[in-house]
């Protein structure tokens, strides 16, 4: 027979365990995965929206403030140019005074001031450079200001070789245009943009339509002209509600970058805020990493638990299968025993006839030996002994076949009302002769007014007779006392048969009701008597118990069920 652990090694259990493992894991993983990915997806979207809104906000605010700065500068110069005539400006000290005044009021943002006539000649100059006689007809800003009445130029190096840009306004004096020009300090303007920072990689800068830098970026990344073109394209038609735009792109070094841009200076310049996506979404990425770690750890937990649970379950299934197999085998054994019993009964029936003839023939020889002619025979005693032996052994055969038949036959199932005390009295009377021969005294102490039982009488007789005979057998050598008690215990009538025999060793007590188990000497017992009794009492719905003490004696207790219909008579008996 295989053990449960060997059982589990078979392909069937391995496949079962595998199936369980896969099922548990699938059922656990799918909802976790769906829920967490949905939540994370939603979180990602809203977080991105929030970050984009932040970027737009930054860019829009700064665009406004830079535009404001430029407009203010323009207005200051316009005011100055209109406050006095061109002649007044040409007085050298006046321009110098105005410059100092403005620098005092607005800080050192204005580097110099100059007055240029319609020929492009600088007629007056105040500032740190020696540009008094400079000629500007070729400068872009000069042409623009002559055409448009004012201009704020791009940043350029110009004659002085230092980055700067120009704010110029045109005015008329005696029908002739003249220009008041101011130079804005690049560093002062650059600071405005440079202070726009975010995270570790976020910085801002300004470019013109040609893609030239108008400020000095914090990080000198390579500027992708294509991106700038794209950003300008998006902004060629300025949208009133949204005047900032965001694009996400991958730069030359393969880093994902977010550009937020807004037009300023009437669409000539673009304020660009640039930040690496990984930096902008660092919190999001952190959350993602944590979730992945949790998911992986949870997954490992699920896998471990699934394998432990499926292993345990398969073990339990294997154990119960194993038990079932044992039970099946027992059922088969029992079936075998039953068919063996039937077979034995058939044989016993057949053997009875020849045995009967043998015994009678032996009896006939015995009869003949009594006659005159054999009395003188010297072997007469031997003949007698042999014949007696044949008869004895024949009787033994009869005894065996009788018991085999009892064991296997279908008993009379008819139930009758039985007064147990009467039945016991009859049986003790029957056994008295045998008891006397074995020097056994039978004492019956029977409780009166016991309720009637409804049982098959012949079977009950068989049981009690068997117990009495066993008790006598147990005391056969030394003699002794046999007690039979009857009494009532709740729903049962109890019959107790006890002897003062040698007792049964404890090791044998548990096997005493097994078929073919006997403690009697070889040839004396078949080992069927108590097995039959046990079967009969079980079928009646009763119980048979045994307790024994070595060298003191044995007590067999039979519990017989009282039928429900007897309730009344029993109660009446009690009242009496």
Partner 1 sequence: MADEMSLSEKPRLRLLLVDDEAGFVDVLARRIAKRNIQVCKAYSGYEAVQILRKEPFDVAVLDLKMADMDGIELLKILKKMAPDLQVIILTGHGCEAAARDGMSHGAADYLIKPCDFEELTAKIQQTALHRREF
Q: Is 458 in the site for partner 1 (CB under 8 A)?
A: yes
CB of 410 to partner 1, least distance (A): 8
When binding is defined by CB under 8 A, the residue of 49, 325, 412, 506 that contacts partner 1 is: 412
- For residues 377 and 368, is the Cβ–Cβ distance under 8 A? no
Q: Is 30 in the site for partner 1 (CB under 8 A)?
A: no
Question: What's the CA gap between 187 and 110, in Å, rounded?
Answer: 11
Of 333 and 367, CB closest to partner 1: 367
Q: Is 402 in the site for partner 1 (CB under 8 A)?
A: yes
- For residues 115 and 86, is the Cβ–Cβ distance under 8 A? yes
CB of 464 to partner 1, least distance (A): 17
Question: What's the CA gap between 189 and 165, in Å, rounded?
Answer: 10
How would you write 113-149 as a 3-class SS string? Answer: EEEEECCCEEEEEECCCCCCCCECCCCHHHHHHHHHC
Of 360 and 489, CB closest to partner 1: 360
CB of 401 to partner 1, least distance (A): 8
Q: Is 409 in the site for partner 1 (CB under 8 A)?
A: yes
Of 156 and 402, CB closest to partner 1: 402
Count Cβ atoms below 10 Å from residue 165 Cβ, excluding itself: 21
By CB under 8 A, which span of 11-19, 175-183, 395-403, 526-534 interacts with partner 1?
395-403
CB of 457 to partner 1, least distance (A): 11
CB of 530 to partner 1, least distance (A): 19
Q: How many residues bind partner 1 (CB under 8 A)?
A: 21
Of 309 and 395, CB closest to partner 1: 395
| H-run or E-run covering 170 | strand 164-173
Of 190 and 401, CB closest to partner 1: 401
CB of 351 to partner 1, least distance (A): 10
Q: Is 434 in the site for partner 1 (CB under 8 A)?
A: no
User: In the window 348-367, what residues touch partner 1 (CB under 8 A)?
Assistant: 349, 352-357, 359-361, 363-364, 367
φ and ψ of 244, to 5 deg: -130, 155
**129, burial (CB in 10 Å: exposed 0-12, middle 13-18, buried 19+):** middle
Residue 328's SS3 state is helix
CB of 402 to partner 1, least distance (A): 6
**483, burial (CB in 10 Å: exposed 0-12, middle 13-18, buried 19+):** middle
Question: What's the CA gap between 14 and 17, in Å, rounded?
Answer: 5
CB of 355 to partner 1, least distance (A): 6
Q: Is 398 in the site for partner 1 (CB under 8 A)?
A: yes
Question: What's the CA gap between 151 and 164, in Å, rounded?
Answer: 14
Of 405 and 452, CB closest to partner 1: 405
How would you write 370-429 as a 3-class SS string? Answer: CCHHHHCCCCHHHHHHHHHHHHHHHHHHHHHHHHHHHHHCCCCCCCEEECHHHHHHHHHH
The residues that touch partner 1, with contacts defined as CB under 8 A, are 349, 352-357, 359-361, 363-364, 367, 398, 401-402, 405-406, 409, 412, 458
């Amino acid at each position: 027979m295989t053990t449960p652990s060997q059982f589990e090694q078979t392909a069937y259990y391995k496949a079962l365990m595998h199936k369980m493992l896969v099922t548990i894991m699938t059922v656990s993983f799918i909802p976790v995965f769906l829920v967490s990915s949905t939540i994370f997806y939603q979180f990602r979207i809203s977080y991105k929206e929030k970050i984009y809104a932040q970027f737009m906000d930054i860019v829009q605010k700064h665009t406004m403030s830079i535009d404001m700065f430029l407009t203010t500068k323009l207005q200051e110069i316009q005011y100055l140019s209109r406050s006095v005539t061109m002649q007044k400006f040409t007085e050298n000290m006046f321009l110098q005074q105005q410059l100092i005044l403005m620098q005092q009021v607005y800080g050192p943002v204005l580097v110099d001031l100059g007055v240029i006539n319609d020929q492009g000649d600088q007629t007056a100059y105040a500032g740190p450079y020696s540009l008094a006689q400079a000629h500007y007809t070729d400068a872009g800003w000069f042409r623009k200001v002559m055409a448009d009445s004012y201009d704020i130029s791009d940043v350029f190096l110009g004659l002085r070789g230092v980055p700067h840009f120009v704010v110029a306004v045109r005015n008329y004096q005696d029908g002739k245009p003249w220009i008041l020009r101011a130079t804005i300090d690049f560093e002062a303007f650059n600071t405005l943009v440079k202070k726009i920072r975010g995270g570790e990689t976020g910085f801002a800068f300004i470019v013109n339509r040609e893609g030239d830098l108008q400020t000095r970026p914090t990080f000198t990344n390579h500027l992708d002209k294509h991106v700038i073109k794209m950003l300008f394209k998006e902004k060629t038609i300025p949208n009133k509600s949204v005047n900032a735009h965001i694009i996400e792109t991958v730069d030359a070094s393969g880093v994902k970058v977010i550009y937020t841009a807004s037009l300023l200076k009437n669409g000539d310049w673009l304020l660009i805020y640039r930040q690496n996506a990984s930096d902008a979404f660092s919190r999001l990425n952190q959350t993602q990493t944590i979730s992945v770690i949790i998911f992986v750890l949870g997954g490992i937990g699920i896998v471990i638990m699934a394998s432990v649970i499926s292993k345990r379950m398969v073990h339990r299934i294997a154990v119960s299968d194993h038990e079932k197999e044992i039970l099946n085998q027992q059922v088969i054994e029992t079936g075998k025993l039953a068919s063996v019993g039937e077979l034995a009964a058939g044989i016993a029936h057949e053997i009875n006839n020849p045995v009967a003839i043998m015994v009678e023939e032996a009896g006939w020889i015995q009869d003949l030996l009594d006659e005159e002619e054999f009395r003188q025979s010297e072997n007469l005693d031997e003949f007698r002994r042999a014949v007696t032996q044949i008869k004895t052994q024949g009787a033994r055969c009869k005894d065996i076949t009788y018991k085999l038949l009892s064991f296997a036959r279908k008993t009379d199932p008819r139930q009758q009302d039985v007064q147990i005390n009467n039945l016991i009295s009859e049986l003790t009377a029957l056994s008295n002769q045998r008891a006397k021969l074995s020097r056994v005294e039978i004492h019956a102490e029977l409780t009166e007014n016991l309720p009637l039982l409804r049982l098959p009488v012949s079977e009950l007789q068989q049981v009690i007779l068997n117990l009495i005979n066993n008790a006598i057998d147990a005391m056969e050598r030394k003699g002794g006392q046999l007690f039979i008690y009857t009494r009532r215990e709740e729903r049962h009538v109890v019959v107790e048969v006890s002897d003062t025999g040698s007792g049964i060793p404890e090791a044998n007590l548990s096997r005493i009701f097994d078929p073919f188990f006997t403690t009697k000497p070889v040839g004396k017992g078949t080992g069927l008597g108590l097995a039959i009794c046990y079967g009969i009492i079980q079928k009646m719905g009763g119980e048979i118990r045994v307790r024994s003490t070595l060298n003191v004696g044995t007590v067999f207790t039979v519990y017989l069920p009282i039928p429900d219909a007897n309730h009344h008579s029993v109660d009446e008996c009690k009242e009496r």
